[in-house]
Structure 1
Amino acid sequence: MGPGCGEDDGDNIAWSWHHFNGSSSGESATYDTSASSTNGIAAVRVQAGAFEGNTLETICSSTLKYNPYN
């Protein structure tokens, strides 16, 4: 389910992964992104994953950040 697709209060919404194919250790990419919801956004988390083909091998997650204005 994506943004604006039948969201209900309390739903967890996941956006698709961005692809970065780094060829050597230490390479990085930066993505500008935004999110909105008519129900408000209570909290967010950022995740990064390492894939082998289409298989998710490892994942790192940020701490959950709560929206003080929601």
Structure 2
Amino acid sequence: MAADLTKRRIEADRVDFLGYKVRCPFDGTTVGPRFVTREHLDVPPNPPYAATVRCPTDRELFEVLFRVSDGHAR
């Protein structure tokens, strides 16, 4: 059965994602660029703005929306 849809979209700093510091919302496995299945380029400011990620442990798909830590809008 599909997990709660609110867990399918998380926000994370892009630097943390590139450093494998982002955790899967389903089982807590750390994920990063290696597990990206698709980049989303349709939300400003700088591409990629979001990425679809597949967790290597539980195989769940979720979306990581990148936020900027210096106060700029996403």
TM-score, normalized by length of structure 1? 0.26
Which structure's relative contact order is higher, taking Cα pairs within 8 Å and 6+ residues apart? Answer: 2
Q: State which structure, 1 or 2, has the greater radius of gyration over its C-alpha atoms.
A: 1
Higher strand content, 1 or 2: 2
Higher helix content, 1 or 2: 2
TM-score, normalized by length of structure 2? 0.25
